[in-house]
């Protein structure tokens, strides 16, 4: 039986579908990004934390991304599997994927939490936490409390795309928004009023994550299209393999980002120690704190980019499953255009207004060396951000079409071969500046490969075999 959601995905105008699915997804990801960003803003403006707390936040950030990587692998994979299943009129497989995904995310969240608690010190050292003693102590405090919330964080993040695939993007947005609002309210109370420092920032975040997880759990029991029954929670090797295969690009894009951040943090620590200014103990944490701020702005932009692309996964997946390739082609065109526009807008902001961006993160309380390095970092590190936006859209859209191999290859080349490789190589010749050059160079080279895959994808989508009428594009 064809549901209203099926009819919309297969016949509604592409523009309206993009608005319905992408906008809530963008808001959800932006709100999710605010957890760490808001923490860093309040930490930076607390006079008793400052750049030490900022640097600690930068150290812990990639460790939260590892949790997110596992969560989105399961959640995005399930989202793509469910969408393809609904397109093939195989809702029973979609329900089984949801049940299996819930089991996987709960188990992996508990395991990762245990690993983090057992090996906290060496893990923090691996990500550059030993740049100086003050930064290390702040990192340990923040990391401990953040780790306690890992299972809730992962469950909420994994359920978000699953809820979108079930036809409720607004609910997915609201559940994430609730947690972020709680975090924003509690951060200033715990950091400034109670003066709990890094612990306060982390506790505010965890409470928000618990609220999001609670709403996701409620929705799981009230799903519209793919509510699992008891038998669907029994792990099925075929379903698990297919779900994880579809989500592996999301995992690798996040994990490879972690590898790149680990390389960058360690190069900052190594070559900062050789710098005339940042080699001094009182300034050693500045480069790491600044790069963390630059990455937070980048995270905001990428949240918009990924939100648009991920919001299109149910649309692309359903229409590919139904054989409506011309609709997928139209969707891909609009996605590339809008992603490029976001990139150009972000480029103008970082090149024209870097001072204003820095001021949000407590630059007034820091030395002139902090401000000078931050201005340079914004303008150099993100100068090719339009290419980065198009690259990311290409990763995700290929995944939505079921092309996991091509998507994974492009993601791995960008983040591991180029991202990690240049982060390790360029500082050998240009010191700290080499770290800054690694990002734009990686994006330029990746864009060249992405163009080849984009052209190939268009050619494949020109081979429409279905005779089903396609509605015109309208916004």
Asked whether the predicted pLDDT for residue 404 surpasses 90, the reply is no
Tell me the C-alpha distance between 53 and 377, whole Å.
19
pLDDT, residue 438, reads 95
17 neighbors 8 (Cβ within 8 angstroms): yes
* pLDDT tens readout for residues 347-382: 999 999 998 888 887 666 678 888 899 999 999 999
Weakest mean pLDDT among 153-162, 188-197, 286-295: 286-295
- Domain spans of the chain? 20-461
Find, among 239, 200, 215, 191, the residue nearest to 31 by Cα.
Answer: 215
Tell me the C-alpha distance between 398 and 318, whole Å.
14
DSSP calls for 97-137: HHHHHHHHHHHHHHHHHHHHHHTHHHHHHHTTGGGSHHHHH
pLDDT, residue 363, reads 63
Asked whether the predicted pLDDT for residue 470 surpasses 60, the reply is no
pLDDT, residue 5, reads 55
Asked whether the predicted pLDDT for residue 473 surpasses 70, the reply is no
> What's the pTM?
0.76
pLDDT, residue 224, reads 86
Asked whether the predicted pLDDT for residue 467 surpasses 80, the reply is no
Residues 6 or more apart whose CB falls under 8 angstroms from that of 270 comprise: 427
Percent of the chain at pLDDT above 90? 45
* pLDDT tens readout for residues 234-276: 999 999 999 998 888 778 767 777 888 888 888 998 998 898 8
Average pLDDT for 120-135: 91
Find, among 27, 44, 116, the residue nearest to 296 by Cα.
Answer: 44
309 neighbors 396 (Cβ within 8 angstroms): yes
Residue keyed to tokens 């075999």: 465
Tell me the C-alpha distance between 405 and 428, whole Å.
33
Tokens of residue 392, six digits:
């990311």
* pLDDT tens readout for residues 192-231: 999 999 999 999 999 999 999 999 999 999 998 889 998 9
pLDDT, residue 365, reads 67
| Average pLDDT score, the chain | 87
Find, among 293, 286, 256, 282, the residue nearest to 269 by Cα.
Answer: 286
Tell me the C-alpha distance between 327 and 316, whole Å.
8
Average pLDDT for 428-435: 93
91 neighbors 226 (Cβ within 8 angstroms): yes
């Amino acid at each position: 039986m064809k549901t209203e959601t099926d009819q919309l995905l297969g016949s509604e105008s592409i523009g309206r579908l993009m608005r319905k699915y992408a906008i809530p997804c963008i808001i959800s990801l932006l709100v999710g990004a605010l957890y760490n960003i808001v923490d860093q803003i309040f930490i930076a403006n607390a006079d008793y934390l400052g750049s030490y707390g900022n640097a600690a936040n930068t150290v812990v950030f990639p460790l939260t991304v590892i949790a997110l990587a596992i969560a989105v692998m399961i959640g995005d994979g399930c989202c793509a599997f469910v969408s393809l299943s609904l397109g093939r009129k195989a809702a029973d497989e979609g329900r089984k994927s949801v049940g299996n995904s819930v089991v996987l995310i709960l188990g992996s969240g508990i395991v990762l939490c245990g690993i983090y608690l057992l090996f906290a010190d060496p893990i923090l050292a691996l990500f550059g936490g030993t740049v100086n003693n003050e930064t290390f102590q702040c990192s340990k405090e923040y990391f401990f409390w953040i780790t306690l919330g890992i299972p809730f964080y992962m469950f909420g993040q994994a359920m978000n795309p699953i809820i979108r695939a079930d036809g409720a993007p607004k609910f997915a947005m609201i559940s994430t928004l609730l947690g972020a609002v709680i975090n924003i309210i509690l951060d200033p109370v715990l950091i400034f009023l109670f003066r709990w420092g890094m612990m306060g920032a982390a506790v505010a975040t965890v409470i928000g994550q618990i609220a999001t997880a609670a709403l996701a759990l409620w929705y799981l029991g009230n799903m519209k299209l793919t509510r699992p029954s008891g038998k669907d929670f029994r792990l099925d090797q075929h379903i698990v393999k297919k779900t994880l295969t579809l989500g592996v690009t999301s995992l690798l894009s996040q994990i490879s980002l972690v590898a790149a951040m680990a390389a960058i943090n360690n190069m900052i620590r190594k070559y900062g120690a050789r710098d005339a200014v940042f080699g001094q103990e009182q300034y050693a944490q500045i480069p790491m704190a600044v790069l963390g701020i630059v990455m937070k702005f980048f995270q905001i932009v990428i949240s918009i980019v990924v939100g648009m692309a991920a919001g299109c996964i149910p649309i692309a997946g359903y229409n590919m499953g139904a054989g409506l390739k011309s609709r997928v082609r139209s969707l891909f065109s609009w996605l590339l255009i809008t992603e490029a526009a976001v990139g150009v807008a972000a480029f103008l902001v970082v090149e024209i207004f870097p001072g204003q961006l820095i001021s949000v993160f407590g630059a007034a309380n820091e030395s002139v060396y902090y401000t000078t390095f931050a201005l340079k970092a914004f303008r150099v590190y993100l100068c090719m951000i339009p290419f980065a936006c198009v690259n990311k859209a290409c990763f995700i859209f290929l995944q939505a079409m079921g092309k996991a191999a091509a998507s994974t290859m492009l993601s791995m080349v960008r983040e591991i071969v180029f991202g990690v490789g240049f982060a390790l190589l360029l500082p050998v010749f240009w010191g700290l500046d080499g770290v800054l050059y690694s990002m734009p160079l990686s994006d330029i080279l990746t864009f060249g490969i992405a163009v080849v895959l984009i052209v190939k994808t268009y050619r494949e989508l020109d081979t429409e075999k279905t005779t089903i009428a396609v509605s015109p594009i309208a916004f």
